[in-house]
Amino acid sequence: MSASGGTKAIVAALLANLGIAVTKFVAFGLSGSSSMLAESIHSVADSGNQALLLLGGRRATRKATPEHPFGYGRERYIYAFIVSIVLFSVGGLFALYEAYHKWHEQRDHPGGIESWQWLPVVVLVIAIILESFSFRTAIVESNAIRGKASWKEFVRRAKAPELPVVLLEDLGALLGLVFALVGVSMTLVTDNGYWDAAGTAAIGFLLVTIAVILALETKSLLLGEGATPEQVRQIEQAITNGSEVERIIHMKTLHLGPEELLVAAKVAVRPYATAAELAEGINSVEARIRNSVPIARVIYLEPDIYRNAEQPADGVPELKEA
């Protein structure tokens, strides 16, 4: 993912959510709608989340230190995981609590929205329009890098967390606004506040679901993911395309950050006359790897010499160290 593309989508979402949050709080203060309060807190949580993503992106650019020799690229994963926690607690759980409170309040004080009745509807419609522009920006930036992958595959396989997070947050924001609009509209039409509570509960369940999805995906990144199958093929071809390496014995890859890949491989090399020739051959292989997969910035190659063992009973020859 290009850092500029991710930052552009985050900033667009942040500006949209800040403006929407203010208008929602005003509408809640005037109307008392629980759906509006849930959506107001949702926008505040989203704004905080986008600020966290920007902070994580900034901190990830720090140079490596003796204490952290591979750098700070994974900070972007950590802050994305924090985003899922914030969305779950501040957004989802608060909305569910407010829905519970509003539902029980209706038993003692039944009725709908009594003041500024149509203001929440106007605010929600405007918010849907603004959120749509933010969602469109995230889609455009994602399309530039997702290739032929489906949206599900993009969210699950993306190594950079920012765009999938913004995509899911913007989708959740749009659906939440629709739920709130339905709840408020039905409350106004029927003068039944249970609709408002139901809309609030729907927002809560939606946010909790998205938070769980984000947490699972970012957890996988935190644990450490390898290169994509296409990148693995490119690395293998780069290693074996020259005359320096006879075969790959085994290879491991690991993302140190969204744009930094570690490659470690044990390779069978042809006999060299001197150590200098061997070093030159290894350097040539490393250069081909970096040319094929530019994000492969940390490469460790262990040369070895192998010979065929005796033919085993099953007819499949094995390789053993000389």
Domain boundaries, the chain: 3-223, 229-321
At 278, the amino acid letter reads L
Is the pTM higher than 0.85? The answer reads no
Cα separations (Å) of 203 from 40, 99, 105, 164? 11, 9, 18, 20
CATH numeric code, 3-223: 1.20.1510.10
Rounded Cα gap, residues 82 and 87, in angstroms: 9
| pLDDT tens by residue, the chain, 322 residues | 445 547 878 888 888 888 888 888 888 888 888 778 888 888 888 888 889 989 998 999 899 899 999 989 989 999 999 988 888 888 888 888 888 887 887 777 776 676 677 888 888 898 898 888 888 888 988 888 888 888 888 888 888 888 888 889 889 889 988 998 998 888 888 888 888 889 889 988 998 999 999 899 899 888 999 999 999 999 999 999 988 888 999 999 999 998 899 999 999 988 776 888 889 999 999 999 999 999 999 999 999 876 654 444 444 445 444 4
Its CATH class, for the domain covering 229-321, is alpha beta
- Measured CA angle at 197 (ends 196, 200), to 5 deg: 90
